[in-house]
Amino acid sequence: KNEVEQSPQNLTAQEGEFITINCSYSVGISALHWLQQHPGGGIVSLFMLSSGKKKHGRLIATINIQEKHSSLHITASHPRDSAVYICAALRPFYFGTGTSLTVIP
Amino acid sequence: NAGVTQTPKFRVLKTGQSMTLLCAQDMNHEYMYWYRQDPGMGLRLIHYSVGEGTTAKGEVPDGYNVSRLKKQNFLLGLESAAPSQTSVYFCASSLELGQPNQPQHFGDGTRLSIL
């Protein structure tokens, strides 16, 4: 049983498409973290949120605490968005297995 | 500003050998973490530290030891390496623990192979 579930596991999109990655969790958390891992392996933080919605450029993250669900949206997707996106519940520490996104020109 | 630096980046060990992975951060963060990442599995927490001189077990601590003698450094040791410890190891740090405006900052990872 995974405390954090992501869907889909793999996603291929055409450049310009709107993308949604979903994350559901089964534990009580203090915050949810969205991370991006590029093919080279480095991991960068995109968002941390405990309620509502956050936006940074073409990326939007939302969270519904009651439903224990978060989504990461990418508007006007671009090939440079190709990466693995990971959601993580913090306190306690549980990570999803990631969504591998490929954006085709 | 270097952020989080892990050394070495790659290492191959034989079963039974020992080694230490070093993580250094220059952001004056209190919290530091060691994770392992295996194919098909999410990142799993090995050990973490809430401040200088403190350490705590994570989800998969067996076979590893850690030390935080200085605030900026967090060492991960394998006393007797086993093939099951072949993995990519990530170190991370944060100012606070699990607070929405205090994300974790990750190092570039260490690829460790145990033969």
CA B100 to chain centre: 22
Mutate to test the interface with B, among A90, A91, A94 (most CBs of B within 10 A): A90
Task: Tell me the residue type at B92.
Answer: A
Asked whether residue B42 carries a pLDDT value surpassing 90, the answer given is: no
Say if residue B100's pLDDT is above 80: no
* Residue A92 scores a pLDDT above 90: no
- pLDDT given for residue A9 in this prediction: 95
**Residue B1 confidence (pLDDT):** 61
Buried-exposed string A37-69: b where 16+ CB fall within 10 A, e elsewhere: beeeeebebbbbbeeeebeeeebbbbbeeeebe
Ramachandran region, residue B84 (left: φ > 0; alpha: ψ -120 to 50; beta: rest)? alpha
- Cα–Cα distance for residue pair B103/B46, rounded to 1 Å: 18
A99-104 vs A10-14, strand pairing mode:
parallel
For A10-54, the pLDDT digits (tens) are 999 999 999 999 999 998 888 899 999 998 788 999 999 889 999
Whether residue A93 and residue B88 make contact (CB cut-off 8 A), yes or no, is no
What is chain B's length?
A: 115
Q: Which of A93, A95, A97, A100 to mutate to test the interface with B (most CBs of B within 10 A)?
A: A93
Does B40 touch chain A if contact means CB atoms closer than 8 Å? yes
pLDDT in tens, B51-98: 999 999 999 999 999 999 999 999 999 999 999 999 999 999 999 887
CB-nearest partner of B98 from A2, A30, A86: A30
Q: Which of A82-96, B6-20, B30-44 has the lowest mean pLDDT?
A: A82-96
The tokens of B94 are what? Answer: 């944060």
User: Residue B97: what pLDDT?
Assistant: 81
Sign of the CA dihedral with B100 first, then B93, B5, and B28 last: positive
